[in-house]
Structure 1
Amino acid sequence: MKLSQSVPPEQIDLDSVDLTDSVLYGEGDPHSIWNAMRQRDPVRWQQVDDTLGFWSVTKFEDADLVLRDHTLFTSQRGTMLFLLGKDDPARGRQMAATDPPRHTRMRAPMQRALTNKQVEKYREAVTGEVRRLLEPALSEEPFDFAESMMTLPMTAAGTMMGLPREDWTRLTQLTTMSIAPDDPEFAGPGSAEETLKAAHRELFAYFHDILRDRRNNLGDDLISLLLGMEIDGRSLETGAILSNCYSLILGANVTTPFVPTGAMAEIVGTPLLHEWRTDPKLMNTGVDEALRWSSPTNHFMRYALQDIELRGKKIRAGDAVVVWLGSANRDEEVFANPFTFDIRRKPNRHMAFGSGPHYCVGHTVARMSMKILFTELFESFEDFELVGEVEHLHSNFVAGIKHMPMVAKVRAGAARSHTGLVK
């Protein structure tokens, strides 16, 4: 998946485009397609089969409306394309599949647990794990940066949910199967749907066992928080807790690993790498630009609750509406020179974490993890070189790099230790 526009919009045949096709995001050029749609047909209907279809929204303003206004567009019928035409079994029980006001009451305790102040107490643990992930690069031999980053979310999510370290690798594999069941590297022996079901079965069985033990050993972790949560005077039922455990770990694994890989793929071999590395004041704006540029969550889906007109198109009540976040984050009406990676970009109103009531509840954790990662990269290494093919996930839900071989040049003073990188 190219992260820049490469084909002029007038050369794109929009009638031949299938935005559900996972191969497009693994091997194709969706940004050129989205650019053409923004300019020629920003609210466009795609028919999927004889009975199913959806509206694609590609402009920032429209995307913000769809995600923000729960009185017009609901999350409770499914938020991802694989659920198109199906009822979401988690509706009303999982935060991601629940509308306000119930969603607000469900979200409040989690939001209090994930404030900047609260997540700061995990900084030391996350820093140690990040150093462990980067330790292979100290050899100055080729290492797969993307593979290392795939395990990055578990350094925070695993710690904050109180999950055993020995389970983290398998949990990473299972969540990747959930978001990329079409990818040949992660697909099971059957169809994509069978891969998805198998991953879900194992994940839910895993968390069922965790809950059984955690009920008798409550702590200050996020799973214990869910176990103690009350909504409208009632404790969450087991199914709701399981669903939210799944949502938390999926959200972490969807966002965090693909931001540094997308950014590094763009800046390695350019002066931008040196500029960002040598100016600590650029950390915040650089991370935000990495989020905008990578836009790791490809889409969110909603359903219209009433008839509404959007840019002259009549969306009927019950129609599925899909917001393409990567497109909204390249909207030239909001972002000057949107196809330029600008580490000084300000303001930067990107919606990599979504928008409105469902703005990613774990954004504080993701930001902390990425700042720690880039700080460790820039303090430990002075240069990088891509030494192999960059491969992208086959997934219509995630824009992500799964392989990116690199060689790192170690800065003077960085050395091996049993615990990670030492300056």
Structure 2
Amino acid sequence: MHAGPGVDLFASETFATTDVHAVWRRLRQVTPVSWHPVGDDGFWSVTRYDDVQHVLRDHTTFTSEQGSLLTLLGKGDPAGGRQMAVTDPPRHARLREPLQRALSVKEVERDLPRIRSLIRELLAPMRDGGVFDFAGAMAAMPMAVIGSWMRLPPADWPELTRLTAASIAPDDPAYVGSGGPQRTLVRAHRELFAYFQDVVAERHAAPGDDLIGVLLGMRVDGERLTPSEIVSNCYSLLLGANVTTAQPPSAALLELAGTDTLADWAAHPELTVSGVEESLRWSSPAQHFMRYATRDVRIRDVTVHAGEAVVAWLGSANRDEDVFARPDTFDIRRRPNKHVAFGVGPHYCVGHTVARVALRTLFHELLTGFTDIEVVGEPVRLRSNFIAGYTSLPVTARGARP
């Protein structure tokens, strides 16, 4: 058995208090495939880029249907085979294709003016020169985008944002409620599913052309999705948007504020695309995806047995020295940049186009609209083994002259 690094990669606190990139670097160098015990169970950590690609592409050997996140280790996933995120091909492709069409470049670009207006509104308070919680503002951005695409009332957006955050970071001080993390997690899931049950029941009579309407009209293998399947996929879409898109801007600003690199980027708006891709690689907001081996399989010099959990660390793959030159440098001109921040293989993020457009717009508005951006307080890292991010990032800035 190849033992892990002596650092608990299951505990969410590790990711808030430890330089996890140093841990992953050591694992890549010494034991790129290692076993991490968790009580009477455990999981295999896969940290090298090529191995992460292998695990996430080979759905016949590594299934997603028993759970794709460490929070479900050893528990199974009741949504397996019904929710797109935890369904293997070929059914996965039939669930994905209608949503992929609805989230196409053409459809996203049609919504660009609204996205730009919303981002300007979120950034506007920075213009007064006072302390501005940049991470807090970014947490609201993806909800406003996906909320409109799902035709959810704006009055509900703040609470939906809080509930999705609580569902992936239930022991974070910002979200943990009475009764502790487990009760927080159960309560967040229950409230989100109850919310969407009501929405789906209301929409059945008159489905629109929004994402929920797409799910209501979808047929898979000749049959419509059941109400519970629609609700489960609504939850998955909301979670995927809210807990990932918010993080790259904060990570980038924390690294670059006050540096020549940020000034260089601001002076070269043509670098928006490569800069955004680097922010995705750098932040790797979704830190892992879990799979279960369906048969005995060799990964490097390790035999993973059928039924064992395998965790592919995207954050580690995106700093693999064999793939990325100077991986610990934020390079706004990095090309090529074959990061796996959106995953890889069949489960490549269905909303990647929306996320990229929102992030490009955000960075353009930030870098052309503001100068003298500085981090002026201690950032607060999120406690989560799934999402790498921040719950608070105090900054100041000056509004650029028109």
Residues in 1 aligned to 2:392 and 2:144: alpha-carbon distance in whole angstroms: 20
Question: How do 1:324-339 residues align onto structure 2 when only pairs under 5 Å count?
Answer: 324-339=313-328
Kindly state the Cα deviation for residue 132 of structure 1 after the two structures are TM-superposed: 1.1
Question: How do 1:87-236 residues align onto structure 2 when only pairs under 5 Å count?
Answer: 87-236=76-225
Question: How do 1:252-267 residues align onto structure 2 when only pairs under 5 Å count?
Answer: 252-267=241-256
Partner of 1:44: 34
1:299 aligns with 2:288: yes
Aligned residues: 400
1:85 aligns with 2:79: no
CA contact (8 A) 2:12 2:385 kept: yes
Partner of 1:4: none
Kindly state the Cα deviation for residue 80 of structure 1 after the two structures are TM-superposed: 0.4
Kindly state the Cα deviation for residue 268 of structure 1 after the two structures are TM-superposed: 0.3
Give the secondary-structure state (helix, strand or coil) at the position aligned to 2:111: helix
CA contact (8 A) 1:130 1:155 kept: no
CA contact (8 A) 1:285 1:343 kept: yes
Residues in 2 aligned to 1:292 and 1:110: alpha-carbon distance in whole angstroms: 25
Residues in 2 aligned to 1:15 and 1:215: alpha-carbon distance in whole angstroms: 51
Residues in 1 aligned to 2:97 and 2:291: alpha-carbon distance in whole angstroms: 22
Partner of 1:32: 22
Deviations, residues 139-158 of structure 1 (Å, cap 9, x unaligned): 11111000000111112101
Give the secondary-structure state (helix, strand or coil) at the position aligned to 1:151: helix
Residues in 2 aligned to 1:253 and 1:41: alpha-carbon distance in whole angstroms: 33
Kindly state the Cα deviation for residue 191 of structure 1 after the two structures are TM-superposed: 2.4
Give the secondary-structure state (helix, strand or coil) at the position aligned to 1:360: coil
Q: Provide the aligned C-alpha RMSD in A.
A: 1.0
Residues in 1 aligned to 2:11 and 2:78: alpha-carbon distance in whole angstroms: 24
CA contact (8 A) 1:122 1:156 kept: no
Residues in 2 aligned to 1:191 and 1:16: alpha-carbon distance in whole angstroms: 26
Deviations, residues 60-99 of structure 1 (Å, cap 9, x unaligned): 0000000011111000000001111112000111000100
CA contact (8 A) 2:28 2:47 kept: yes
Partner of 1:237: 226
CA contact (8 A) 1:176 1:186 kept: yes
Residues in 2 aligned to 1:131 and 1:120: alpha-carbon distance in whole angstroms: 17
Residues in 1 aligned to 2:16 and 2:191: alpha-carbon distance in whole angstroms: 26
Partner of 1:63: 52
Kindly state the Cα deviation for residue 29 of structure 1 after the two structures are TM-superposed: 1.0
Residues in 2 aligned to 1:213 and 1:351: alpha-carbon distance in whole angstroms: 38
**TM-score (norm. length: structure 2):** 0.98
The one-letter code sitting in structure 2 at the alignment partner of 1:257 is A
Kindly state the Cα deviation for residue 15 of structure 1 after the two structures are TM-superposed: 4.4
CA contact (8 A) 2:61 2:293 kept: yes
Deviations, residues 261-314 of structure 1 (Å, cap 9, x unaligned): 001100001101111111111011000000000000011000001111111001
Kindly state the Cα deviation for residue 216 of structure 1 after the two structures are TM-superposed: 2.4
CA contact (8 A) 1:14 1:33 kept: no
Residues in 2 aligned to 1:148 and 1:183: alpha-carbon distance in whole angstroms: 18
Divergent runs of 4+, >3 A: none
Give the secondary-structure state (helix, strand or coil) at the position aligned to 1:16: coil
1:289 aligns with 2:278: yes
**Gapped runs of 5+ residues in structure 2?**
none
**Gapped runs of 5+ residues in structure 1?**
1-12, 414-423
Partner of 1:3: none
Partner of 2:384: 395
Residues in 2 aligned to 1:212 and 1:71: alpha-carbon distance in whole angstroms: 35
